[in-house]
Each structure stands twice: as C-alpha cells, then as structure tokens.
Amino acid sequence: MSKGLVLILSGASSVGKGDIREALLNDPDMKLFYSISETTRPQRPDEVDGKDYYFVSHNEFAESVKKHELLEYTEFNGYYYGTPKPQIDFLINKGKNVLIEVEAQGVGPIKLNIPEAVAFFVMPEGFEQLEKQVSERYKDDEASIQRRLNKAKMDMEIAPLFKHVVSNADTEAAVAEIKRVFMERLEQRK
C-alpha cells in the first residue's frame, strides 16, 4: 500500500482558508482526512474537543513538545497550537491523504518531516478586502484586529517562498486550482 499524501493549507488570518478547507474535505475525489490541531486556547461554546481541536493544558502541550510529538507548533495571542505527528503518521501510513491547515511559519518544519507534502498559500483578493474581513469578524476587539492584520502582513511577505500561491478572489477557482495540483501530484506517485 502506498503512503497517503499531505496537503498543507496556509494563508493570512481571515483570508477564507476555512471555506476552502471545507470544500476540499467534502470533495470525494480528494479523499482527504483533516488533521486536528492541539491547542491551549480555551474551548468556545460551539467547538467540539477532538473535532475542532484537541484542547489541552499548557503542561500537556509542553509535554508534547518535549516528546517531539508535534510536527510544528506556534504561539498566538498567548495560546499554543500544534500539529500532532502521531496522528499524521498513522493516517499517511494507512494510505490516507491528509489536509493540514497551519500558520505560514509551520510549513517549513512539516516539509522537513514530510518533504513530499504539497503546500499552498492562500492570498487575499487585496489587503483592503482582508482588512474589511478581519474588522467584521473581530469587530469588538480592536487590539485583536491589529494583531491579526500585522500577522497577515508578515505572512504575506512569506508567500513568495511557497511553490503554490492561490488567490482567494474566487473561492471556487481557488479550490479548483488546489485540487488540480494535488490530483496531478497523486497521479505522478502512481
């Protein structure tokens, strides 16, 4: 049995990665499994532990780092987020394709561990549009808006390092481009 292929989805905050992720996960041709991240962030009322995230304590997260059980990890707003390595290894060794949604700086560590992974950076239609989306989503927290916009600017500076940069001016077109590249890569591996 051949190993599964990893698709890495990255991009700036509020660029629309969630809509793209859902479309890709629901595409029967791609047969993608979603990688659930670990986080120290408190669980929101609408979130399900083990579906949206694995909600863990700071000590549990530190233990995962110490045992090298995370492919990558990062801190944002005082909370830690990471990609569990055992979960990814299990799925790809069973021949399953895996989608990992991750911050831009997390792509390098994943590619070091899984060089054949295909990484995509999702760019906003324009920075003005991104500012509007972030402001609408986090309207009650000006400090959070500024942190996210500053982070988005830094992430977008990294984008040229990605082999595959996709504009999210049209979500359907972005999904179609990601699918085309990923399916070509799957075909090349046969």
The answer to whether residue 1 is domain-embedded is no
Averaged over 121-150, what is the pLDDT?
80
Averaged pLDDT of the chain: 91
pLDDT grade, residue 77 (50/70/90)?
confident
All residues at 6 or more sequence positions from 49 whose CB lies less than 8 Å from its CB, including other chains? 43, 55
Are 171 and 23 contacting, i.e. CB atoms less than 8 angstroms apart? yes
The reported pLDDT for the residue numbered 22 is: 96
Where residue 119 sits, what CATH number does that domain have? 3.40.50.300
% of the chain exceeding 90 in pLDDT = 69
The reported pLDDT for the residue numbered 55 is: 98
The reported pLDDT for the residue numbered 127 is: 78
**H/E segment holding residue 168:** none
The reported pLDDT for the residue numbered 9 is: 97
Question: With 80 as the cut, is the pLDDT of residue 149 above it?
Answer: yes
Averaged over 26-50, what is the pLDDT?
96
The answer to whether residue 72 is domain-embedded is yes
The answer to whether residue 127 is domain-embedded is yes
Question: With 90 as the cut, is the pLDDT of residue 113 above it?
Answer: yes
Question: With 90 as the cut, is the pLDDT of residue 68 above it?
Answer: yes
The answer to whether residue 147 is domain-embedded is yes
- Give the range among 33-47, 58-72, 158-172 with minimum mean pLDDT: 158-172
pLDDT grade, residue 103 (50/70/90)?
confident
- Catalogue the E-assigned strands of the chain: 6-11, 32-34, 38-39, 54-55, 70-76, 79-84, 97-101, 118-123, 164-167
Q: Which domain covers residue 33, as residue numbers?
A: 6-188
The reported pLDDT for the residue numbered 181 is: 98
Q: Please state the domain count of the chain.
A: 1
Question: With 90 as the cut, is the pLDDT of residue 15 above it?
Answer: no
Averaged over 98-113, what is the pLDDT?
93
The answer to whether residue 71 is domain-embedded is yes
Averaged over 29-56, what is the pLDDT?
96
**Sheet with 70-76, side-by-side order of all strands:** 54-55, 38-39, 79-84, 70-76
Burial (Cβ within 10 Å: 0-12, 13-18, ≥19) of residue 92 = buried
The reported pLDDT for the residue numbered 136 is: 78
